[in-house]
Chain A
Amino acid sequence: MTEPDFPDFDTMTPADFEKYLPEFFANGDGHVSTDPRLQKFLKNHPDCAALVRDLEAIADQARSLFEPRDPGEAVWNNIQKKLKQ
């Protein structure tokens, strides 16, 4: 996958960061907070760093969401009825 033209990481503004954040997440392993290119920016912009931490926490927790569960018995009964028709 080709990387988009990112702004200069040293002069990037929070608005630039906001614009490119979906791409930052999509590139690499999805963890923006550990991207070495962004360390200086995040250190200098704690609001952006806080947002990144929250979004990463949401994405990380998503993997454990909705534990597998079984459908009700009626589902199989209905399937059997329809198969017999």
Chain B
Amino acid sequence: MDVQGLQMTQNTPAPGVFKRNPPIAGEADAIEAAKNGDAEAFSKLYALHKRRVYTLCLRMLGNVSEAEDMTQEAFLHLFRKIGSFRGESAFSTWLHRLTVNLVLMHLRKKGLNLVSLEETINPSEEDTPKRDFGSRDPQLTGSVDRVALERAVASLPPGYRMVFVLHDVEGFEHNEIATMLECSTGNSKSQLHKARLKLRELLREPAQSDQPAGIKEVVV
């Protein structure tokens, strides 16, 4: 199906409602048709949102196979539940939340209890970022290589990756993350900080083994 002609509407969104996801022209009709079981409308909604859903899954899970499986699950879930969409938020916001919740459920089924981040998804001792105040290597301070950072994020322990992706990549606030992960905002802040420290550590490692550095050398 050709959806290239679909354009984002130019309407000014209501504050807070469409913060990340303005409505898409033609989407409302497709939603209503999909609620009545129109297969073509399902196809249109998939074409409109597959990239965003898949990219979100990929960011949260860190591997292609699982991300594709969860994309499939998210759309199957969407098509079963679309009747419950009331339009109280943008459809893409609703779908985004639905996907995040499905991925979190998937991770819980895999044994990651996200209820208590500190106790249950804290990484093992060797994964914990080292506290290295006072051991500064001035050659490592500077800008960050995007590809190296993507690799480092993918290698983070799942709990760290989840909070880092939700906050720094997806733009959720700590209180929103706390609600999703059923933890305190303080816990979310703490996990994000540990995730960034771990990433810094991972990005410094190549430089120590004479490989291309993730954090580029700059003059200080």
Contacts and interface: CB of A to CB of B under 8 A. Distances in A.
For the residues of B in contact with A, the DSSP-based class is helix
Interface in B177-215: 189-190, 192-193, 196-197, 199-200, 203, 215
A76 B197 contact: no
A12 interface: no
Interface of A is mostly: helix
Interface residues of B, number: 48
Contacts of A54: 140-142, 144, 200, 215
A68 B149 contact: no
Nearest to B201: A54
A84 to B, nearest CB: 9
Nearest to A66: B59
A70 B203 contact: no
A62 B51 contact: no
Nearest to A51: B133
Given A46-B136, A50-B141, A61-B146, A75 B68 contact: yes
B54 A70 contact: yes
Contacts of A43: none
Given A47-B133, A47-B136, A58-B144, A79 B46 contact: yes
A66 B58 contact: yes
A65 B76 contact: no
Nearest to B196: A55
A47 B138 CA distance: 8
B189 A75 contact: no
Contact of B197 (A55, A60, A61): A55
B35 interface: no
Interface in A38-85: 46-48, 50-51, 53-55, 57-72, 74-76, 78-79, 82-83
Nearest to A22: B193
B146 A69 contact: no
A70 B168 CA distance: 22
Interface of A: 14-15, 18, 21-23, 25-26, 46-48, 50-51, 53-55, 57-72, 74-76, 78-79, 82-83
8 contacts: A14-B133, A22-B192, A25-B192, A50-B138, A50-B220, A55-B196, A58-B144, A65-B153
Given A65-B146, A68-B51, 7 more contacts: A51-B133, A51-B200, A58-B196, A61-B146, A68-B55, A76-B50, A79-B72
